[in-house]
């Protein structure tokens, strides 16, 4: 079975041909840790997690590297404005290092709550300053850089195929746009910073010595340096959100290919944006966005959001709505109930995975078709419902599908909500029990049971369930 990926570079679906047979080296751009990641960012990570899991399902040995941007990402893509980390520090009255630590930890918590697999290498940019300086030196030696008053810049006119990822029209667009925003010292509007100097009047919290003077790396440098360090000068697949095509990934390619003369990444996978219906873009810099922790606050399992994302192919724009999340939450409850039923039916009978079965092949085909998770989920639903397939076989398949979908398929369905007045009766009864008022406690038990709520006292507190029928 050939695994196919839509490659932004060639604008078509291609058969994935890894550099080393049976292996896949993947680099995914990680978060800029000056604020919480929003659920739009999380759509990208969930999609990338889907790619890793789909490749593993097909037997590939995957090595995934993800960076943590903790320096150098400026407010404007034109290499001007404040460093987002220093901005975050000022906003919260903390140091840039504290901000980085706090938001990296917050990110990892959210990331794990969505059942995304930990990358094999997670690398903060500030740990790779030396590698970035070496890359800058290599570019300098080859004549790709020049110095202006605020830093060392990459001369994009020196690379004949500059902008190939976004297309020629894009590079022309930058030239046009130059009239609006232009650093007069730059040789070409698309040129970008390799190293920026600390401004003489400001005392930066994050700065390093370099052969060119004190300062900090240009934002794109970290991904080139770390991807090549951990995955080699040419890598298999590079991922990120669609916003990265035009500037960030275009410039990563320029720096890496300029320095090595080799193709940087053979495949480029980009996730379309999650957008907000009314306000359009979800913007991290404005501070007005939904985070993963908004989900439990609204009573949703974060995995309902994962399921919501998996239901739309990663190359389609996804318009966020709470109705959609609600529908996904119900759908996930249904799928979990189905999986549990299959497990119960299978009992203790031995279950082995039938890799020749049509449903298994259909599931694998969907994944190999540019990670078509919506189609794979449809196969999962159909198979679990199909009583003609022996329950033990369905169970084995569900277990294999769980490795890919990571929806906690066998988790007991979420406990139903109890109306507020009944919940209050339970609390009242717990208080009565604490006070050893057994009479009142029994009365309250009866009152609850009359209204269809059955109580069980356990060492961990009161459990309840609804009497059925």
- By beta-carbon proximity to Zn ion, the closer residue of 63 and 306 is 63
The contact set with Zn ion (CB under 5 A) reads 29, 223
Q: Which residue has the tokens 């008022």?
A: 437
Q: What share of the chain is helix, strand, coil (3-state, %, to 5)?
A: 45, 20, 35
Binding site partner of 223, from Zn ion, ligand AMP, none, Cβ cut-off 5-8 A by kind: Zn ion
Q: Phi/psi class of residue 25: alpha, beta or left (left: φ > 0; alpha: ψ in -120 to 50)?
A: beta
Question: Least distance to Zn ion from the beta carbon of 243, Å?
Answer: 11
- By beta-carbon proximity to ligand AMP, the closer residue of 29 and 444 is 29
Binding site partner of 241, from Zn ion, ligand AMP, none, Cβ cut-off 5-8 A by kind: ligand AMP
Q: What are the residues facing 23 on neighbouring strands?
A: 61
- By beta-carbon proximity to ligand AMP, the closer residue of 284 and 445 is 284
Binding site partner of 163, from ligand AMP, Zn ion, none, Cβ cut-off 5-8 A by kind: none
- By beta-carbon proximity to ligand AMP, the closer residue of 291 and 393 is 291
Given a contact cutoff of 8 angstroms between Cβ atoms, the answer to whether 279 and 321 are in contact is no
Closest C-alpha to 334, from 294, 307, 374, 312? 307
Residue 68 found at the interface with ligand AMP (CB under 6 A): no
SS3 state at 151 = strand
Site for ligand AMP in 34-53 (CB under 6 A): 40-41, 43-44
Residue 241 found at the interface with ligand AMP (CB under 6 A): yes
Q: Which residue is nearest to ligand AMP (CB)?
A: 241
Residue 284 found at the interface with ligand AMP (CB under 6 A): yes
Q: Which residues contact 444 (CB under 8 A, 6 or more apart)?
A: 425, 428, 429, 432
Binding site partner of 426, from Zn ion, ligand AMP, none, Cβ cut-off 5-8 A by kind: none
Within 10 angstroms of residue 437's Cβ, the number of other Cβ atoms is 14
Question: Least distance to Zn ion from the beta carbon of 169, Å?
Answer: 23
Residue 32 found at the interface with ligand AMP (CB under 6 A): yes
Binding site partner of 63, from ligand AMP, Zn ion, none, Cβ cut-off 5-8 A by kind: none
Residue 273 found at the interface with ligand AMP (CB under 6 A): yes
What DSSP string runs through 187-252? SSTT-EEEEEEPPTT---SS-B--TT-SEEE-HHHHHHHHHHHHH-SSEEEEEEEGGGIIIIIHHH
B/e letters for 376-414, b = 16+ CB within 10 Å, e = fewer, are bbebbeebbeeeebebbbbbbbbebbbebbbbebeeeee
Question: Least distance to ligand AMP from the beta carbon of 172, Å?
Answer: 23
- Within 94-167, where are the H helices? 96-113, 129-141
Binding site partner of 40, from Zn ion, ligand AMP, none, Cβ cut-off 5-8 A by kind: ligand AMP
Answer for which of 18, 31, 136, 364 binds ligand AMP (CB under 6 A) is 31
Site for ligand AMP in 335-354 (CB under 6 A): none
- Give whole-number Cα distances, 84 to 130, 206, 285, 286, 297, in Å: 21, 12, 8, 12, 28
- Give the binding range for ligand AMP (CB under 6 A) out of 19-27, 236-244, 384-392, 455-463: 236-244
Q: Please give the size of the binding site for ligand AMP, defined by CB under 6 A.
A: 17
Instruction: Quote the tokens at residue 104.
Output: 């990296």
Applying CB under 6 A, the residues found at the interface with ligand AMP are 29, 31-32, 40-41, 43-44, 69, 240-241, 243-244, 271, 273-274, 282, 284
């Amino acid at each position: 079975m050939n695994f196919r990926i839509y490659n932004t570079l060639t604008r078509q679906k291609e058969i994935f041909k890894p550099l080393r047979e049976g292996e896949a080296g993947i680099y995914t751009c990680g978060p800029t840790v000056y604020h919480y990641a929003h659920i739009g960012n999380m759509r990208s990570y969930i999609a990338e997690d889907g790619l890793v899991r789909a490749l593993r399902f097909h037997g590939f040995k995957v090595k995934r590297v993800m960076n943590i941007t903790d320096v150098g990402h400026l407010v404007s893509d034109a290499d001007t404005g404040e460093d987002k980390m220093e901005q975050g520090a000022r906003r919260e009255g903390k140091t840039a290092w504290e901000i980085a630590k706090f938001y990296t930890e917050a990110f990892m918590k959210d990331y794990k709550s969505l059942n995304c697999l930990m990358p094999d290498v997670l690398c903060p940019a500030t740990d790779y300053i030396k590698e970035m300086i070496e890359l800058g030196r290599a570019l300098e030696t080859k004549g790709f850089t020049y110095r202006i008053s605020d830093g060392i810049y990459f001369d994009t006119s020196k690379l004949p195929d500059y902008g190939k990822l976004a297309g020629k029209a894009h590079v022309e667009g930058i030239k046009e746009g130059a009239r609006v925003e232009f650093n007069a010292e730059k040789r070409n509007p698309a040129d970008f910073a390799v190293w920026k100097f600390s401004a003489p009047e400001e005392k930066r919290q994050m700065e390093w010595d370099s052969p060119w003077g004190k300062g900090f790396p240009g934002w794109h440098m970290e991904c080139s340096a770390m991807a090549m360090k951990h995955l080699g000068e040419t890598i298999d697949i590079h991922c990120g959100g669609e916003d990265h095509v035009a500037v960030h990934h275009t410039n990563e390619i320029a720096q890496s290919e300029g320095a090595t003369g080799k193709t940087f990444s053979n495949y480029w996978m980009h996730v379309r944006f999650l957008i907000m219906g009314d306000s359009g873009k979800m913007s991290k810099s404005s501070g007005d966005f939904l985070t993963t922790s908004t989900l439990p606050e609204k009573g949703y399992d974060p995995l309902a959001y994962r399921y919501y994302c998996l239901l739309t192919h990663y190359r389609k724009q996804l318009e966020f709505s709470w109705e959609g999340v609600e529908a996904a939450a119900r759908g996930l409850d249904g799928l979990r109930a189905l999986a549990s039923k299959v497990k119960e039916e299978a009992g203790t009978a031995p279950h082995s995975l039938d890799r020749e079965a049509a449903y298994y092949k259909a599931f694998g085909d969907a994944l190999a078709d540019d990670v078509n998770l919506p189609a794979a989920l449809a196969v999962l639903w159909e198979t679990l419902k199909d009583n003609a397939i022996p329950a033990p076989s369905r169970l084995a398949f569900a277990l294999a599908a769980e490795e890919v979908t990571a929806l906690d398929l066998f988790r007991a369905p979420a406990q139903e909500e109890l109306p507020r007045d009944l919940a209050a009766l339970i609390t009242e009864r717990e208080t009565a029990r604490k006070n050893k008022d057994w009479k009142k406690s029994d009365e309250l038990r009866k009152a609850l049971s009359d209204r269809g709520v059955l109580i069980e006292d356990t060492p961990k507190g009161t459990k309840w369930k609804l009497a059925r029928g």
